Amino acid sequence: MSNDHDTVLAAADALIAAFAEGRTDDYFDAFAADATFVFHTADRRLDSTQEYRALWQKWSEEDAFRVLSCDSNDRRLQLLGDTAVFTHSVTTRISTTAGEEVLHERETIVFHRVAGEDWRAVHEHLSTDPSTAAAPA
């Protein structure tokens, strides 16, 4: 399909917008039920969207976690048949009981085509962005 590139980017943009706007139902609905998640802030791989959603709920209840904004840049999309790999750099502003914080991270989201044309996220990997780390003294 010739418009796969645009369709996957639209799926990625919808996922990012839902995250940035705090629309958690829409955000989690962008992922397949059996999606996996690897985050530098988690002590283990999360093996389902439900597991990630439960962790998010815990962050919200225990630390008043909220996403205030998220900007995506340095984007790249690789199409591999019914699979697509989307990578980008993200700057996310969050709020917790400790106050506001700006996070600089790199992210990979793997999408897979389902039901002929819809693209669902099946894996997310988030790491710190070393280019924004402070230089050693």
Q: Return per-residue pLDDT of the chain as tens, 137 residues.
A: 458 999 999 999 999 999 999 999 999 999 999 999 999 999 999 999 999 999 999 999 999 999 999 999 999 999 999 999 999 999 999 999 999 999 999 999 999 998 777 999 999 999 999 887 654 54
* Among 120, 109, 124, CA closest to 36: 124
Q: What percent of the residues of the chain are helix, what percent strand, and what percent coil, each to the nearest 5?
A: 30, 50, 20
Tell me how long the chain is.
137
